[in-house]
Structure 1
Amino acid sequence: MELFTGSFQTLEHSLKYASAKNRAISNNIANVDTPGYKAKDVEFKNVLNNELNASFNAKRTDSKHLPFDRLNADQSLQTVSRQNTEYNHNGNNVDVDKEMAELAKNQIYYQALVDRMNGKFSSLKTVIGGGN
């Protein structure tokens, strides 16, 4: 018997993603004046692929259908450098305004996830307490 539904796991993976993104953004802001530093970002594609692998089971009914096993099942988040841009004469490509906006957006996302998880636990507490 599974005590928690898949939504808890999805929320947990989403919180890990938001935390990794927050670390990447914080590092970018901290290195805004570091010569040659390239801004980093966390790839969302891996998180999406992980969730699709975990909860999306499809059956191929024809050999012409696209296979679903090409999705990456790796649970780790990848941090990648943005190489194609340069904002400063010293080779640095951190745009502090963009990073601050991304940080604010990520904080709202993280707080929404925490609120949703609190709601799940509150519902579980109500069920365990018999509705009281």
Structure 2
Amino acid sequence: MDLFGSSSFKAIERGLEGAQLRQKAISQNIANVDTPNYKAKQVSFKHTFQNEMNNQTIRAHKTSDGHIDFGTRKSSPSIEINRSTMYNHNNNNVDIDLEMAELAKNQIYYNALIDRLNGRFTSLQTVIKGGR
């Protein structure tokens, strides 16, 4: 029995991975706000996450290790660089106000996922304790 292999745990895990990658990109943008010719990075995760949720694949039961796995495809968030804009006079396109807002939004998203994960663990703990 795989307690942590359910689709909800995997969805939360993928969400946390995406939030972590977004945090890294935003932090790099904020750190390079005054760096000449630096171009802001953005993580396209929600589109990937939504595709994964909509395209859940059928899992096959393998009776032999020689059988081919299907339904185990894993896509990951991607980092995109916007090279077409210029926000500052030094050819830099980092908007610090936008980055700080995205940082706050990402923190709220991350905290919501952690709360959901804690809820799942609390449910498991209740089951283990026999409902007490």
Normalised by the length of structure 2, the TM-score is: 0.81
Aligned residue type for 1:81: I
Q: How many residue pairs were aligned?
A: 116
Q: Deviations over 1:9-48 (max 9, x none)?
A: 0000000000100000000000000100000011122232
Aligned residue type for 1:96: I
Aligned residue type for 1:86: M
1:108 alignment partner, SS class: helix
Match of 2:51 among 49, 66, 88: 49
The Cα shift of 1:82 comes to 1.3
The two structures, once aligned, show a CA RMSD in angstroms of: 1.6
Counterpart residue number, 2:86:
86
Matches within 5 A, 1:1-132: 1-4=1-4, 5-44=6-45, 45-53=47-55, 55=56, 73-132=73-132
Percent of pairs identical after alignment?
55
2:22 alignment partner, SS class: helix
Structure 2 unaligned spans of 5+? 59-72
Once superposed, which parts of structure 1, at least 4 consecutive aligned residues long, lie more than 3 Å away? none
Structure 1 unaligned spans of 5+? 58-72
Normalised by the length of structure 1, the TM-score is: 0.81
Q: Deviations over 1:30-81 (max 9, x none)?
A: 000010000001112223223333x266xxxxxxxxxxxxxxx542221110
The Cα shift of 1:3 comes to 2.4
Q: Deviations over 1:63-110 (max 9, x none)?
A: xxxxxxxxxx54222111012211111110000000000000100110
